[in-house]
Chain A
Amino acid sequence: TQLLEQSPQFLSIQEGENLTVYCNSSSVFSSLQWYRQEPGEGPVLLVTVVTGGEVKKLKRLTFQFGDARKDSSLHITAAQPGDTGLYLCAGIQGAQKLVFGQGTRLTINP
């Protein structure tokens, strides 16, 4: 059983469309991070959200932390082929233990 459930697991859309990826848990996390992973490489940190209700923007990416600090979402506006990759949410338990969701494999078609 995954502590963090991501949906959808796979998403294929056309360039220019918008999309949202969800990360849900029954547990409360001290913070939540989003990573992007490309083939043959390790995950790369995109953002950390700490406060319930927090919203952070990274160019066309918008990240939101749920009020109860159990869930998060990633919204991409006007997706581009360069956004293709595996997006992972991860929650920090306690001070150090980072646990990952299964990931959302995103494909943006030109």
Chain B
Amino acid sequence: DAGVIQSPRHEVTEMGQEVTLRCKPISGHNSLFWYRQTMMRGLELLIYFNNNVPIDDSGMPEDRFSAKMPNASFSTLKIQPSEPRDSAVYFCASRRGTGTNYGYTFGSGTRLTVV
């Protein structure tokens, strides 16, 4: 099992540019989560999907952020236009089911720096 795969691992971009982060969940996992981690705010849930459908996007900070899950094996998080305050590590996680005993498997993250 390759785990949750995120790309790129590092991204440096200029303010105002569009940024797209990618995630491949574990095969057979039907829920996918996007998190952002900063020193100040810790890990924040941005959005999550069940069976490719967005369920809760209340954590998405602004309209500049959007996420899609066109199929069970791929999701994107897009920031347009990017700003320096978006600099953070973005994690994707997947989960097999909704029972309380199911764990969340995280990818290694994408470290985004907006200059």
Give chain A's interface residues, CB within 8 Å of chain B: 2, 30-31, 33, 40-45, 48, 50, 88, 90, 92, 95-103
Contact = CB atoms under 8 A, between A and B. Distances in A.
A2 B48 contact: no
Contacts, number: 56
Contact of A50 (B44, B101, B106): B101
A56 to B, nearest CB: 12
Contacts of A43: 43, 91, 104, 106
A86 B104 CA distance: 17
A33 to B, nearest CB: 7
Given A42-B91, A42-B93, A100 B43 contact: yes
Question: For the complex, would chain B's binding face be called helix, strand, loop or mixed by DSSP majority?
Answer: strand
A92 B100 contact: yes
Given A31-B101, A42-B93, A50-B101, A98 B108 contact: no
Contacts of A98: 33, 45, 93, 104
B9 to A, nearest CB: 9
- Contact-size category for B: 20 to 34
Interface of B: 4, 31, 33, 42-45, 48, 50, 55-56, 91, 93, 95, 98, 100-101, 103-109
Contacts of B106: 42-44
Contacts of A97: 45, 48, 56
Nearest to A99: B45
Given A96-B48, A99-B45, A100-B42, A31 B107 contact: no
Nearest to A30: B100
Contact of B108 (A42, A88, A99, A100): A42
